[in-house]
Structure 1
Amino acid sequence: MPIYKIDGTQMIKLQHTTFSTEGIDEARHLQKIIINSIETVEKDLFVISSEFGDWEDSKRRIDILCLDKNANLVVVELKRTEDGGHMELQAIRYAAMVANMTFEKAVKAFQNHIEKSRLQVDDPQEAILSFLEWDEVNEEGFANDVRIILVSADFSKEITTSVLWLIERDIDIKCIRIRPQKDGSNLYFDIQQLIPLPEATDYQVKLREKATEQRQSRREGSRDYSKFDVTINGKTEFNLNKRQTMHLVISECVKSGINPIDLMRVTGERKWIWVDKICSTKQEFESEMVKSAKKYDPIRWFNQDGELLVFDGKTYAFSNQQGKEAFNLATNIFSKYPHLQGEITKSEY
């Protein structure tokens, strides 16, 4: 919406202009204007640095670095363009880079800012403590979160979509639009918080909490915690998880004389690894695996002492990565080898 001024009994629309047209660049002009009027971006912010870049192997600089009343760091990224460029990606990178800042480093940054900007501050640490309303330094309560504020003449759809997605995932980020307006030789700034809308903040918090709960529910709902009762040759083992089920079935197959090579026709070869030697311990088996140069991730196999399967001069390990297919796989094995007198049912408890 345009801004109007009252002229007698009528309203006259102010002229829209751009930062570029008015000769306002980010570093020399806009940054200083925002720093000197930081409350126009958000109330209760304390500027501790501008062009902050106290890290090795990087020339990147944070436009404005602040603290809020909760002792969180606030990264303010500025752009004078109409689309915001890739400022959200830059701001996320900066937030990650300052996430571990200590109170001591914040005081040092503020000291440098005081000297560079020639501010009249006698004691940087005391000034920060006073703003935070702390009686003494509290490192544990300092910088527990990093918030992001994007300030631009406008924002592209890509940025707004990214910001909304980040908000949904509990990243504290907001978009402030700042549009220059002109009335003759007078220049004005129309400053609006676009995302999240101030009047919708509580609603969006509830939506975010709901979305988080739904994602958690979907993750939990997709997991299969089924337990099984397995009977082989008249002996039943109760309430086994999928890993226990498949290890029991496979080991009993091999004990009964079934060659693992034949079992691979049912299970698939990818569920097996083996070495051409009899190994009695995990250490011995892994040593042979190293010699064989085969791809091997120890945590993915039944390879502990007592779990390895020896047959016809070779030592085999079966995969412990068992999904929802465990029930059907055990059923197919029992069907192919009826002499096992095998049966699998879902546990009732």
Structure 2
Amino acid sequence: MFKIDKESNRISRIETKRFSDLGFRERDHLQEWLANQPDALGEELLIIQKEFDGFDDTRERLDLLAMDKEGNLIIIENKLDDTGRDVMWQALKYASYCSNLTKSQIVDIYQSYLTRYCGGGDAKALLCEFLEAPDLSEVVLNSGMNQRLMLVAANFRKEVTSTALWLLNHDIQVQCFKVTPYATAEELFLNVEQIIPTPEAKELMIGMNAKEAEEKNTEAELKNRHRIRMAFWEQALEAMKSSQCELFNNINPSKDHWLSAGSGVRSCPFSLIFGTREARVEFSMSRSEVKENKFIFDRLLEQKTDIESLFGSELEWLRLDDKKASRIQFSKSFEGYDRENWPEMTAWMVEHMTALEGAFKLPLQVVNRELRQVTFTTESGV
């Protein structure tokens, strides 16, 4: 690795270091770096435990246990300057142990991690947020034999890389990441490079295991929910088309629990929400920049009294300071999957989405003009 000096138009070598020479240790340093920055491994991951030892009849513990966006478990094994000969055997053992973890066990493992290392939190809610699912019952976790292995080290022995390539050829998902520390006179740098498989290689999939029955039940339930939602939205959209609200005239039924339509402000849709326990109408601010969302929310909040007067009820104003998006909503409890309630639910949605659109029409026009006149910095946060 080289440093570029623009003034002299020259490059200078940045010195390669060994972790041990810098005083770094596997558990205290490399493991902590990855636990706090898991996307260094090339994708969005959720760390659900570290130093995990929840295996029957063994005192072994794996370095990091993570989850990918598909709900698959990932065993991450870290070594510093050299993998040693046994790292692949260790990782395979841990994968076999983890293959039998059920959804409830995974939730408990993550809850324990949150309590011990993160100051608490709701494991189910955070898993749903990470997996972008409305309810954990709709998600398959740790599917079949889809456990993945990630090996991290500064140097990989030939027996390790050879085994990794052999496993890939037999549909076992293995990735090897070479981590290299670099130093200048004043700064330290870390390069993380995936060496197996090559970045161009397609992601490999593997088969099912003994949890197939549980997964099939979940998949059947999910398909049933999709059919129910499609049927509900067909009725709801027909009712919408017969109303004064034209927002959803060109929207098709969906298997999702929500339908969205444009409000005239980019990435700020009106949405209908069909839940198992409630119906909801909402206006959400989900632009790419946090500051823009909070600006829109705050400008609308200044007109809260007038907006709620036009709407006819108090709204729930959710600025959500710890998230990128913000939301303003109104809901009512319903047993959503009871088809006898659907006529009342659709009538409620039509009435309140019509009112919501009317209440926000003029304020949104003003906010949209203001957005064109305001310059936002690129810093995250408000």
Alignment map for 1:1-349 (pairs within 5 Å): 3-7=1-5, 8=7, 9-117=9-117, 119-138=118-137, 141-144=140-143, 145-199=146-200, 201-202=201-202
Distance 2:32 2:125 in 1: 24
Is the contact between residue 151 and residue 176 of structure 2 (CA under 8 Å) also seen in structure 1? yes
Letter in 1 for 2:49: S
What secondary structure sits across from 1:20 in the alignment?
helix
Q: Unaligned regions of 5+ residues in structure 2, if any?
A: 207-382
Q: Secondary structure at the match of 1:21?
A: helix
Change (3 A) 1:34 1:6: same
Q: Aligned partner of 1:4: which letter? A: F
Following superposition, the deviation at residue 188 of structure 1 comes to 0.6
* Residue 44 (structure 1) shift: 1.5
C-alpha contact (below 8 Å) 1:129/1:137 kept by paired residues = yes
Partner deviation per Cα, 1:225-257 (whole Å, 9 max, x = no partner): xxxxxxxxxxxxxxxxxxxxxxxxxxxxxxxxx
* Structure with greater Cα Rg: 1
Give 1:191 shift. 1.1
RMSD: 2.0
Identical positions, percent: 30
Q: What TM-score results when the alignment is normalised by the length of structure 1?
A: 0.55
1:149, distance to aligned residue in structure 2 (A): 0.5
1:250-296: CA deviations, max 9, x gaps? Answer: xxxxxxxxxxxxxxxxxxxxxxxxxxxxxxxxxxxxxxxxxxxxxxx
**C-alpha distance in 1, partners of 2:100/2:42?**
23
Q: Contact 1:102/1:139 (CA < 8 Å) preserved in 2? A: no
Once residues 138 and 166 of structure 2 are traced to their aligned partners in structure 1, the CA distance between those partners, rounded to angstroms, is 31
Is contact 2:115-2:121 (8 Å) kept? no
Which moved further from structure 2: 77-86 or 20-29?
77-86
Equivalent residue for 1:340? none
Q: How far does residue 140 in structure 1 lie from its aligned partner after superposition?
A: 7.3
CA 1:113 to 1:205, structure 2 compared with 1: closer, same or farther past 3 Å? closer
CA contact (8 A) 2:47 2:67 kept: yes
- Quote how far apart the aligned CAs of 1:98 are: 0.6
What residue identity is the alignment partner of 1:188? F
User: Which amino acid letter does the alignment assign opposite residue 54 of structure 2?
Assistant: D
Q: Where in structure 1 do 4 or more consecutive aligned residues deviate above 4 Å? A: none
1 or 2 for the larger relative contact order (CA 8 Å, sep ≥6)?
A: 1
Question: Match of 2:192, SS?
Answer: strand
Whether the 8 Å contact between 1:84 and 1:152 is mirrored in structure 2 is no
Residue 128 to residue 140, structure 1, CA distance change in 2 (3 Å): closer
TM-score (norm 2): 0.50
Quote how far apart the aligned CAs of 1:138 are.
3.7
77-86 or 165-174, larger mean C-alpha shift: 77-86
> What is the CA distance between 1:139 and its match in structure 2?
7.9
Cα distance change, pair 25–48 in 1 and its aligned pair in 2 (3 A): same
Pick closer, same or farther for the CA change 1:109–1:154 going to 2, 3 Å: same
Q: C-alpha distance in 1, partners of 2:10/2:122?
A: 52
CA distance in 1, matches of 2:106, 2:83: 32
Query: How far apart are the structure 2 equivalents of 1:50 and 1:185?
Result: 31
The CA distance in 1 between the partners of 2:96 and 2:73, in whole Å, is 11
Cα distance change on mapping 1:63 and 1:139 into 2, 3 Å: farther
